Amino acid sequence: MKVLILGGYGVFGGRLAQMLLRDGVAVIIAGRRLEVAQSFATKHGGKAVKADRDTPATVTQHLDPGDICVDAAGPFQDSTGLALPEAVVAKRCHYLDLSDDAAFTASIFALDAMARGQGVVALSGLSSVPALSSAVVQALRGDVDEIALIETAILPGNRAPRGRSVMRAILQQVGRPLTQWRGGAWVDTTAWGPVKRFKLPGGLTRAASPISVPDLMLFPKAYGARSVRFWAGLELPVMHHGLRVLGWLHRLGLLPRLDRFVAPLGWGADLLRGFGSDRGGMVVVVAGRTSEGRPLIRRWRFTLGRGQGPKVPALPALLVIRQLTKGDVPAGARPALRAISLDAAEAELKALGAVIEQSEEAHPPLFQRALGPEVWATMPPSFRHGHDLWDRHVMTGRGSVERGQGRLAMLVAALFRFPPAAPDVAVTVVMERIGDREIWRRDFGGNRFLSKLSYAGPASLHERFGPFTFELSLPLTEGRMGMQVEKGWFLGIPIPRVMLPISETEEFEAEGRFNFSVRLSAPLAGFVVHYRGWLKRQP
């Protein structure tokens, strides 16, 4: 059995070739540039040939039935579809690729019947995602019956080698629309737009932004997850946020697609290669409720240095090739979900010097944490469903708004952007959880205002409206929860108690629906606003 690696002299394909050669496998180093393949083979071993993914016959002529073809060339976003894997399968050879493109990876299903008939394997996405990430998710889920969130981040060190294909794949996305599965619905965002920070073993903290990978398309169905998110980050802030600025300029129409600038941006990145470190890593998070109803979050993360990072995307292919030599992989064509075990992957990572950590902690939604698990369990179903927030969900319904007529009351209402009076209006509340905080974006017939909620102690929350922050107690009466203002601050300065607003707020269940009633008054201003109605979580 021979293994032909397209892009066998590249950043990832080259690492895979070296690992296979150390295993004693017969390797063919293939690519468009024969002289580069020959140079690699002279240094590391293997046979060099010229082959082009866009012309499958130049690849299959070097294969015999039972051989393995690995496509590590990329970028798969610009591929000619399934022509190459189809030609490889037709020759009764196994096909593997390191695709990071969601559509291409999922499309491999089309060859399943053919691969089964030929008795061969065709796996797409045999890389850090989705092969390694799905192995981690499978191990972390354990007794989690309801997966609320799967989140993954890949965070390479700045000194790690950068292939032009990977750069082009990223730049093709920067600043462009991106759709993510959040709260049971597809939600639009911008690739390389928002920022989130992740912690890695060894005290490292890295910024990351959303980008498209196969996990976003495959994991919602494979794991029944309500939210699936993926992030990638660059170690140097000037590079990471520089890409964000370029993406913003692209959205404004001031720059064309950024993949046209691979060469100059690559040159600029090379100038900064001496900064930062060679330590990178990966984070995978699974959050949800166990079969016993416990809310928890499990994290798996590793860091790896000494220039070993580029070997990680090649490890899943290495492990599957070892399985193929033993005949342990069932025939068929499919994305590489659960294609490898986490134990096998961790053994290889540790051999490379990786530091691996796994943790579990309680992760109740904000209102469950504030009320306590015993009280939470007694609350009406619609209340618990509405406040069972793990990542993002949307509630819709109807409501009405009354407004105070005094000038000062109108000024206070305008300051907090409360909606105008309306006897019947459509209401939408978008609730998003960021760490232990919740952001509520309320929309009453197109009039929007938001607040941010956080934990303040047992039966107590903080709610922030711009420069104002209030501490709210949560009294309970027969399944109804109130919200009473106890303290307040303006720009961090305490507000005298006599100047605090008066909140007559209730959340309760009526006719099987979540209901709300919020009546606010203020000293000197009197009655300010009363909005009430019902909501139902979507979908």
Cβ neighbours of residue 359 under 8 Å, at least 6 residues apart?
A: 298, 299
CA distance 486 to 432: 25
Enter the CATH code of domain 366-538: 2.40.128.20
Residue with the bigger pLDDT between 51 and 478: it is 51
> At residue 75, does pLDDT exceed 80?
no
Query: One-letter amino acid identity for 483?
Result: M
> At residue 138, does pLDDT exceed 80?
yes
Enter the CATH code of domain 2-128+308-351: 3.40.50.720
pLDDT at 235 (0 to 100): 94
Q: What percent of the chain has pLDDT over 90?
A: 87
> At residue 163, does pLDDT exceed 80?
no
pLDDT at 78 (0 to 100): 63
Q: Tens digits of per-residue pLDDT, 367-379?
A: 999 999 999 999 9
When the pLDDT of each residue in the chain is averaged and rounded to a whole number, the result is 95
pLDDT at 168 (0 to 100): 85
Q: Tens digits of per-residue pLDDT, 398-426?
A: 999 999 999 999 999 999 999 999 999 99
> At residue 79, does pLDDT exceed 70?
no
Q: According to the CATH classification, is domain 132-307+354-361 in 3.30.420.40?
A: no
> At residue 22, does pLDDT exceed 90?
yes
pLDDT at 159 (0 to 100): 87
Query: What's the 3-state SS for 427-468?
Result: EEEEEEEECCEEEEEEEECCEEEEEEEEEEECCEEEEEECCE
Cβ neighbours of residue 338 under 8 Å, at least 6 residues apart?
A: 134, 135, 138
Contact 368, 453 (CB under 8 A): no
* Residues of the chain by 3-state class (helix, strand, coil), percent to 5: 30, 40, 30
CA distance 382 to 366: 16
* Domain boundaries of the chain, sorted by first residue: 2-128+308-351, 132-307+354-361, 366-538
Q: Is 280 helix (H, G, I), strand (E, B) or coil?
A: strand
> At residue 220, does pLDDT exceed 70?
yes
> At residue 76, does pLDDT exceed 80?
no
Strand locations in 99-203, DSSP E? 121-124, 144-155, 177-182, 185-190, 196-200
> At residue 77, does pLDDT exceed 80?
no
292 token code pair: 């016993």
Q: Tens digits of per-residue pLDDT, 447-458?
A: 999 999 999 999
Q: Tens digits of per-residue pLDDT, 233-281?
A: 999 999 999 999 999 999 999 999 898 888 898 888 889 988 989 899 9
Q: Tens digits of per-residue pLDDT, 183-206?
A: 999 999 999 999 999 999 998 999
pLDDT at 165 (0 to 100): 78
Residue range 104-125: average pLDDT?
96
Residue range 521-531: average pLDDT?
95
Query: One-letter amino acid identity for 173?
Result: Q
Q: What percent of the chain has pLDDT over 70?
A: 99
